[in-house]
């Protein structure tokens, strides 16, 4: 078993509900646990934290937390846990809330300093205020900082933005993105929001009825046409890319990915060399058998049809295509698929009407 993995194998019963999972997750980056309400996401997270009695094994980057002979209680597992509700101490200032957990960590085990998390999460203006005077997004940022100051080996986040309004969600998600760049601590993020997963995750686990329905890197799982996510109205893929050119005349920038290039609106004046995550919706992709340049669609790349999913919605077919090593989804009418005589292995031109930079 690799020492740079999180191995989580659990079986537990809660009334009529049964959890049965066996996962080997990356020992770095962000793993998203996705699924609809009642699928077992939070139950899995609580097992990982040792908050629920379970049979199985938990090993984090070579450190054994639980097996048949050993089961560390929650307070001895080096983890941080961020809930939907922050649980901040209302009578203490933000600074005192942060230091409350920090001072409980032996000096020899402290890996993160208060001034680091204050900078990462933009907390300087809030330090003398109490939780009751903070917005929901501000309170959640303080809760994340407090969890980090325990110097955890694993950070668990249970739908941390689900109770926030849209501005609060954008605020907290932006800070979590920055943390992903700064931290070498693996994060497990529970969510039922496709947009949150697309923005944050490197690895994706889809759960259904207490079991793992699909698991793998974000690009691969989102592009699987046999999964329910590919059949939803907002089905999309995420494309890691790098800005390579700016066109100031037309307020555009050019993003390069493995398999091609896309022109994007350059609202943020992104400099060449900037890494970005692009989102391409399945409904914004059309297919042509030849490269057409006498049209308004500017983003056209060569691709190969790899999968044609059985029709789930009457008259609509979902295709998976590869441009280089980058997967895409296309949602076409079944009549168009038949008219173009599309088959697996066919070489086509993928036309993308709209591309968004994930923020």
Q: How many CA atoms lie within 13 A of 84 on its CB side?
A: 10
The residues spanned by each domain of the chain are 5-222, 236-357
Whether the pLDDT of residue 311 is over 80: the answer is: no
Whether the Cβ atoms of residue 207 and residue 35 lie closer than 8 Å to each other: yes
Any idea which architecture 5-222 has in CATH?
Answer: 3-Layer(aba) Sandwich (3.40)
Q: What pLDDT does residue 2 have?
A: 58
| pLDDT over 80 at 230, yes or no | no
Q: What is the pLDDT of residue 348?
A: 97
pLDDT at 281 over 70: yes
Place of tokens 């690799």: 2
Contact between 323 and 301 under an 8 Å Cβ cutoff? The reply is yes
Q: What's residue 86's pLDDT? A: 80
Task: Please state the rounded mean pLDDT for residues 215-239.
Answer: 86
Token pair in block for residue 54: 């379970």
- pLDDT value, residue 100: 87
Asked if pLDDT for residue 216 goes beyond 90, the answer is yes
- pTM given for the model: 0.90
List CB contacts of 119: < 8 A, sequence separation 6 or more.
none
As a whole number of angstroms, the distance between CA 164 and CA 172 comes to: 9
pLDDT over 90, % of the chain: 74
Measuring CA to CA, which residue among 248, 225, 245 is closest to residue 235?
225
Give CA–CA dist 206/41, Å, rounded.
9
Q: Give the separation between CA 284 and CA 295, rounded to whole angstroms.
A: 15
Residue 34 contacts residue 207 (beta carbons within 8 Å): yes
pLDDT at 184 exceeding the cut of 60: yes
Percent of the chain at pLDDT > 70 equals 99
Contacts of 94 (CB under 8 A, 6+ apart): 123, 126, 127, 128, 129, 130, 131, 134, 142
Residue 359's pLDDT is 66
With a cut of 90, say whether residue 304 has pLDDT above it.
Answer: yes
236-357 topology per CATH: OB fold (Dihydrolipoamide Acetyltransferase, E2P) (2.40.50)
Residue 109: predicted pLDDT = 86
Measured in degrees and rounded to the nearest 5, phi and psi for residue 215 equal -160, 140
> What span, in angstroms and rounded, lies between the C-alpha atoms of 358 and 348?
27
Asked if pLDDT for residue 79 goes beyond 80, the answer is yes
C-alpha 238: how far from chain center? 10
* Average pLDDT score over residue span 100-119: 89
pLDDT tens digits for range 7-57: 999 999 998 999 999 999 999 999 999 998 899 999 999 999 999 999 999
pLDDT at 182: 82
What angle do helix axes 136-148 and 166-182 make, rounded to 10 degrees? 20
Query: How far apart are the C-alpha atoms of 261 and 249, rounded to whole Å?
Result: 19
Query: Average pLDDT of 218-241?
Result: 86
The lowest-confidence range among 74-78, 289-293, 321-325 is: 289-293
3-state class (DSSP) for residue 77 = coil
């Amino acid at each position: 078993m690799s020492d740079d993995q999180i191995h989580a194998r659990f079986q537990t019963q809660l009334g009529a509900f049964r959890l049965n999972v066996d996962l080997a997750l990356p020992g770095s980056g962000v793993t998203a646990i996705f699924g609809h309400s009642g699928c077992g996401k939070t139950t899995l997270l609580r097992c990982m934290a040792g908050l629920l009695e379970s049979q199985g094994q938990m090993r984090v980057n070579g450190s054994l937390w639980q097996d048949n002979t050993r089961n560390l209680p929650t307070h001895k597992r080096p983890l941080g846990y961020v809930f939907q509700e922050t649980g901040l101490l209302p009578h203490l200032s933000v600074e005192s809330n942060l230091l409350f957990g920090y001072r409980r960590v032996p000096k020899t085990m402290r890996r993160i300093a208060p001034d680091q998390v204050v900078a990462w999460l933009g907390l300087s203006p809030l330090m003398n205020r109490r939780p009751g005077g903070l917005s929901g997004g501000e309170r959640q940022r303080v809760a994340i900082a407090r969890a980090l100051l325990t110097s955890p080996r694993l950070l668990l986040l249970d739908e941390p933005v689900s109770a926030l309004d849209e501005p609060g969600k954008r605020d907290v998600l932006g800070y979590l993105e920055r943390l992903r760049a700064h931290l070498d601590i693996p994060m497990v993020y529970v969510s039922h929001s496709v947009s949150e997963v697309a923005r944050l995750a490197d690895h994706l686990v889809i759960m259904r009825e207490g079991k793992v329905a699909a698991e793998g890197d974000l690009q691969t799982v989102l592009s699987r046409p046999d999964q329910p996510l590919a059949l939803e109205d907002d089905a999309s893929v995420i494309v890691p890319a790098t800005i390579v050119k700016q066109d100031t005349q037309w307020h555009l920038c050019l993003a390069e990915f493995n398999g091609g290039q896309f022109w994007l609106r350059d609202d943020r004046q992104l400099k060449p060399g900037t890494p970005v995550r692009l989102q391409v919706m399945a409904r914004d992709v059309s297919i042509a058998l030849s490269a057409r340049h006498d049209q308004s669609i500017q983003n056209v790349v060569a691709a190969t049809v790899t999968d044609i999913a059985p029709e789930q919605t009457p008259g609509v077919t979902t295709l998976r295509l590869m441009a280089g090593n980058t997967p895409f989804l296309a949602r076409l009418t079944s009549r168009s698929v038949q008219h173009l005589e599309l088959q697996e292995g066919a070489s086509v031109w993928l036309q993308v009407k709209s591309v968004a930079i994930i923020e």
